[in-house]
Structure 1
């Protein structure tokens, strides 16, 4: 009871603090001041204890503000030139490369994928209907990721070859199913159509042309990237240095960039240099299928890109023009990730919150009210559950002889049934990585340990307590 009361008091205090935090007064509409941007970022970093972030605010003509705040995993200051993972934001670059080929007539977006990539086969005959456009807008029906039990591919060719046992999660074109596999197929399609490695095509046709000279693309998270250091995960609410799990990310999440380069990418997408890479109509088509419009159709599109890895986060926002001349963009890169941040805008996200605060500053509107620290509250609940299971398990062990005496007359099957509830946490632990995969993107115990160690430790403690109870009761029965 003491543990429960302590948890209740802690949650109440957090709720009161969150509710009492008054939003900052609205600013005047107009171009944001660099000092005001810095104040917003510093206040957010101080309140959330994000280890390090880099932000960029641009309009079509110039970079309004680009800077780093906080530190990296080695304690060095984060700057606008600090390399960071972009995660799913990388998909916008793959889409750009493929849309270029479509513009040249090499790979029309509405052609079936198999017409240009005969090696693309799955266990589901419906995959022959998947079009290039469906790969890019996540309506191909391909599942989210590779089955980790089948091993990690090491190249785009291996990634596509490994789809032979895959069954579609939905019919092609029916609904949106976010899929890393779809963008890996798209990147392989770029390789085959251009007859050159994907990273070479991306550099020559997109990165170099746009002017993103400090940006690189890799196939795996353990590939060497100059200047890139480990990010951070969270354990009991505290950020700690953590290496990125070994994953294949070619075409779907392999871009490493800087805030300075991402500012250039935002400017390009805002309208600067439309003809540098492709005509304006082609760029707008890429944005329509590669970016999320969060305006809800109620007005001019407000485009968003989100990317998450196990140890990094990125959010880009492209605003509709505030005047006839200016269109603003915001980018927030962080060297950490909240455990419950799914990267789709539906869960808590400190990076999304900071981006929204900067958008409010640009628009001269009140910033969004601070929400509850859901990830921290979830960790409190997990700790309380582990503590409760330990206390209850210890009490049950002390009473094992009494339990065995009362169950001595029961049939063996009945006694076994009474032990089943205590075995359930062991079953839950065994299936925990698979159950958590849609939320956290992990499919192994190692992935879960690197993405949300608190959840894994809590589950292990509860399972261990249950195992000790079962063992002590079986021992007591044998001695009775």
Structure 2
């Protein structure tokens, strides 16, 4: 008995007092080293241990030029899923629903075209095993509210029987957020404010519907040729799946609650320890995905709960290390292509575990430079092709092989016209607009946009030269 009591006291001491080697200065050193090696304009970071805050801070500037502080509201993107999962779990804790109830029992408006939709349970929305998929769901065109997001599911087919396959799909959490509204009887944003943000002292946090609701502090950048360019976020709907805005100060309280059985730094509780544990536990079918959290291991083999978040102009990352009591959250104002938030988060995990941290690098800078060089080469080739069109035509006979050679010049135009569909295949069949492709691969799209008219100009001048060489029809 005495041994177990001493062990419990030792564990409590370990979880509430950060070690001397991981303090605010050590956190700052990791973040500033990363920023000095990259072109990350602004980032906010929270590191906690047990019920103690090790560091909350902002670094750099927002897209509008204001300093980033620990209170700057930034987008957490898909990190929002853990908030939505907790909101649903709170209703289960209250006895308002059960996680294994069919969704339609509480939300009749959830009516996919596929009859198997009637079998989808609340838990399957939250652990991404509902059968809904980016490959089969209707696009979220024109969606502006959670009610409309659920209505958009009516045209959806299921990619698998409910509960049989894991498939990451944002609309699962949009449906779940609407479920919170209907069962809880208040707008989703009000539920989060009343049941999550206020009890934890997260006064600077909220959830929004679309990119139009983002405040100036939450707008971000693209990186082009290593330079950060401030741009607005492309149109999208994200409440429930990616709409939460928060700050380093507020996310510290959220992390503490995850490691403290649902109780925040000031004593406010958002759930019982059993409810928090349920959100951290995957089902047999969901693999490593719990309810809004991925489960796994750190580089040292310690248990890890984490989730990333990507917008086109910003990223976020959160991690909870249950064995040591650490929590880490990062929000960066650069887009998903670079993953700066997760890269910093992984370096901070290495810091608290005493592991060596790799230097930061930007592989896309090399890619961008190669693409730029290729674009300049294409421009030179276009000029040469137009100038030498007559000489080219003089060496060719009109026939099938000449037509094939000319048709090759149409390939850039074909790729440009179908680019959204091609990239969509790389993103699990998701609908991807041309504008979104431009945000994901700006240098490639720029080079393609220059190449296309150039190749068409070469094709046109060569055809004209062939026609002139043939002379007037007899």
Whether TM exceeds 0.5 here: the answer is yes
What is the alpha-carbon distance in structure 1 between the residues aligned to residue 225 and residue 161 of structure 2? 41
Is 1:417 aligned to residue 404 of structure 2? yes
| Equivalent position SS for 2:43 | strand
Q: 1:263 to 1:306 in 2, by over 3 A?
A: same
Question: Of the candidates 413, 432, 449, which is equivalent to residue 426 of structure 1?
Answer: 413
How has the CA–CA distance of structure 1 residues 146 and 63 changed in structure 2, closer, same or farther, with 3 Å as cutoff? Answer: farther
**1:353 matched residue in structure 2:** 343
Partner of 2:455: 466
Q: Would the alpha carbon gap of residues 167 and 371 (structure 1) be closer, same or farther in structure 2, given more than 3 Å must change?
A: farther
Structure 1: runs of 5+ lacking an equivalent: 1-27, 342-348
1:240 equivalenced with 2:242 (yes/no) = no
- Which of the residues 331, 334, 346 maps onto 1:333? 331
Secondary structure at the aligned position of 1:304 is classed as strand
Query: If the length of structure 2 is used for normalisation, what is the TM-score?
Result: 0.86
Task: State the partner residue of 1:252.
Answer: 241
- Size of the aligned set, in residue pairs, is 437
In structure 2, what is the Cα distance between the partners aligned to 1:303 and 1:41? 21
Cα distance in 1 between the residues matched to 2:388 and 2:121: 64
Report the TM-score when normalising by structure 1: 0.85
3-state SS of 1:268 partner: helix
Aligned equivalents of 2:171, 2:254: Cα separation in 1: 24
Q: What aligned pairs does 1:207-286 form with structure 2 within 5 A after superposition?
A: 207-223=197-213, 225=215, 228-271=217-260, 273-274=262-263, 276-286=269-279
In 2 relative to 1, CA 146–262 (structure 1 residues): closer, same or farther, beyond 3 Å? Answer: farther
| Residue in structure 2 matched with residue 15 of structure 1 by the alignment | none
1:311-369 superposed Cα distances (whole Å, 9 cap, x missing partner): 111111111323xxxx1111111111252x4xxxxxxx3322211221222122222x2
TM superposition shift of 1:392: 2.6
CA shift, 1:201, in A, is 1.4
Corresponding residue of 1:318: 320
Cα contact 1:30–1:362 (8 A) shared by 2: no
Q: 1:72-471 to 2 correspondence within 5 Å?
A: 72-144=62-134, 151-223=141-213, 225=215, 228-271=217-260, 273-274=262-263, 276-288=269-281, 289=290, 290-295=292-297, 300-322=302-324, 327-339=325-337, 341=338, 349-367=339-357, 369-370=358-359, 373-410=362-399, 413-437=400-424, 443-471=432-460
Structure 2, gaps ≥5 residues long: 1-17, 282-289, 470-474
Q: Give structure 1 regions of 4+ aligned residues with deviation exceeding 4 angstroms.
A: 28-31, 145-150, 296-300, 438-442
What's the CA shift for 1:210?
2.1
In the superposition, relative to structure 1, how do residues 174 and 475 fare at CA in structure 2: closer, same or farther (>3 Å)?
Answer: farther
Cα-Cα RMSD:
2.5
Structure having greater relative contact order (Cα 8 Å, sep ≥ 6): 1
Query: Structure 2 vs 1, CA of residues 41 and 105 (structure 1 numbering), >3 Å: closer, same or farther?
Result: same
